Structure 1
Amino acid sequence: MTFSIVARSADGESWGVAVASKFLGVGSAVPAAVAGVGAIATQALANVAYKGLALSHLDEGATASVALQRLLEEDEGRDHRQVGIVDVDGGSASHTGTACLDWAGGLTGEGYAIQGNILTGSDVVEAMEAAWLASDADEPLERRLLAALRAGDAAGGDSRGRQSAAVLVVREGAGYGGFDDVAVDLRVDDHAEPIPELERLLDLHELYLTATDEDARVPVDDALRAELDAYAVSQGRADFPAWVGAENYEMRVGDDFTWIDQRILDIVRAG
């Protein structure tokens, strides 16, 4: 009922999962990841306990293949499970139980595990692998994961249709305010086109929650500050800092408001 990719970034600093399914809220059941440990997708007749168990095995030093072996040995329902795991070093393992519904199967390589069940055919996971391998290794992991997910959907995806999708990426210190490791955790729980909607949410995530590159910073002089304050007043705010706070653009202006992201300035000037 699901197709997913579990992967580590080429620089070895991020781990993540992207998944789509004709299933309500697939992101609540399938993906799990811990920075510096690894990532897992559990699906088909998912055993959600696999998430904590696998990450515990990986944290204790098990490779992806050993962690998978331990999961299956301890589970009498293993024939109904499908699992993909990537460990801290990029080692990968995937399992498709003999009782999973056709088409079901997976592919693995260095740094990734791709798997799916109740798919339109093997071309779904093959398209995902091709897209992953063709993607730019320097791109953010979440973008590479979604490129693979989009390719699988275009190749047929879940044979029953579309409903939900999710992407989870972890990286040390990448969470909000630097207080945890969750770089991206986005879910589309019920939508006619969940993957495009997930991509739209990722665009918003990058706008609101990632820092501005130096070359996108526009210095704020007295004249520009007056322009920004006037715009804020026209929007019903006391001044520009108040407007920034109301619109959640804190990551796109300087703490002392001495610079502004070009994209935010474009929004202001578009009226």
Structure 2
Amino acid sequence: MTFSIVARSADGESWGVAVASKFLAVGSAVPAAVAGVGAIATQAWANVAYKGLALAHLDEGATASIAVQRLVEEDEGREHRQVGIVDVDGGAATYTGPACLDWAGGLTGDGFAVQGNILTGPEVVEAMRDAFEASDPELPLARRLLAALAAGDAAGGDSRGRQSAALLVVKEGAGYGGFDDVAVDLRIDDHEEPIPELERLLGLHEALSPDVPEEERVPDTPELMDELDARARSLGHLHFAAWLGTNNLEAYGGEGWTAATVIEQLREATPDWEK
């Protein structure tokens, strides 16, 4: 009833999962990932305990293949399970129990695994594999995962239809305020077109929580901050940081932030500033 991809980025800094299903809130059950450890998708008659168990095995040094082997060996319901894992080094493994409903199966490649059950056919996972391998490795992992998910959907996807989708990507220090590793965590729980809606939300996420290249960052010099504080006060805010928070642009603040977007927005908001 679900198709998914787990993968590591080409630069070895991010791990993630993308999943879609004719199932309410698939993101609540299938994906899990930890930066510097790996990622897992557990599905079919999903054993959600696989998530913590698999990540613990990986954290202890197990490869993706060994982690899958340990999971299914210890599970009496293994014949009904489906799981995909990618480890810290990009090793990937997928398992489909013989009792999973047709069509069910999976494929692995360099740094990724794709799998699905109750699909229209093997063309779904094949399209996902091809799309991920054809995607630019320089793209953010979230974009590559979403491209693979969309390709699987276009190839037929879940034979019962569409309902939910989710995208999870982790990278060390990439979370809100730098306090955790969750770079992207987006879920479409119930929608007629969950994958296009997931893509729309990813665009919003990228605009509000940018992963700014080092060469585009600028120092928050006293002179620049004085100018930005003055612009913010002209709009009725206490200071620039208050303006950032009010507009959900906290990710642009702090040392090494990028000025381009926020300065442009402030200029639009204060058109007579230059006068």
- The two structures have a TM-score, normalised by structure 1, of 0.88
Contact 1:216 1:262 in 2 (8 A): no
RMSD, aligned CA: 2.6
How far the C-alpha of 1:107 sits from its partner, in A, is 0.6
The answer to whether structure 1 residue 248 and structure 2 residue 248 are counterparts is: yes
How far the C-alpha of 1:227 sits from its partner, in A, is 6.2
Give CA deviations for 1:107-148 in whole Å, capped at 9, x if unaligned: 101211000011111111111001000011111111110110
How far the C-alpha of 1:56 sits from its partner, in A, is 1.1
Q: Which residue of 2 aligns with 1:45?
A: 45
How far the C-alpha of 1:18 sits from its partner, in A, is 0.5
Q: Using the TM superposition, name which of 142-151 and 171-180 deviates more.
A: 171-180
Residue type of the partner of 1:49? A
The unaligned stretches of length 5 or more in structure 2 are: none
SS in 2 for 1:139: coil
Q: Which residue of 2 aligns with 1:107?
A: 107
C-alpha distance in 2 between matches for 1:197 and 1:167:
12
- The two structures have a TM-score, normalised by structure 2, of 0.87
Paired positions, count: 266
For residues 124-163 of structure 1, what are the structure 2 equivalents within 5 Å? 124-163=124-163
The unaligned stretches of length 5 or more in structure 1 are: none
How far the C-alpha of 1:262 sits from its partner, in A, is 3.1
How far the C-alpha of 1:149 sits from its partner, in A, is 0.5
For residues 50-65 of structure 1, what are the structure 2 equivalents within 5 Å? 50-65=50-65
Q: Which residue of 1 aligns with 2:260?
A: 261
Q: Which residue of 2 aligns with 1:203?
A: 203
How far the C-alpha of 1:37 sits from its partner, in A, is 1.2
Report the identity percentage. 71
How far the C-alpha of 1:57 sits from its partner, in A, is 1.1
Q: Using the TM superposition, name which of 198-207 and 33-42 deviates more.
A: 198-207
For residues 70-219 of structure 1, what are the structure 2 equivalents within 5 Å? 70-213=70-213, 214-215=215-216
Contact 2:241 2:253 in 1 (8 A): no
C-alpha distance in 2 between matches for 1:53 and 1:225:
49
Cα separation, partners in 2 of 1:178 and 1:252, compared to 1, 3 Å = closer
Give CA deviations for 1:164-197 in whole Å, capped at 9, x if unaligned: 1111111112111221111111111111111111
Give CA deviations for 1:34-56 in whole Å, capped at 9, x if unaligned: 11111110000000011111111
Residue type of the partner of 1:260? A
SS in 2 for 1:201: helix
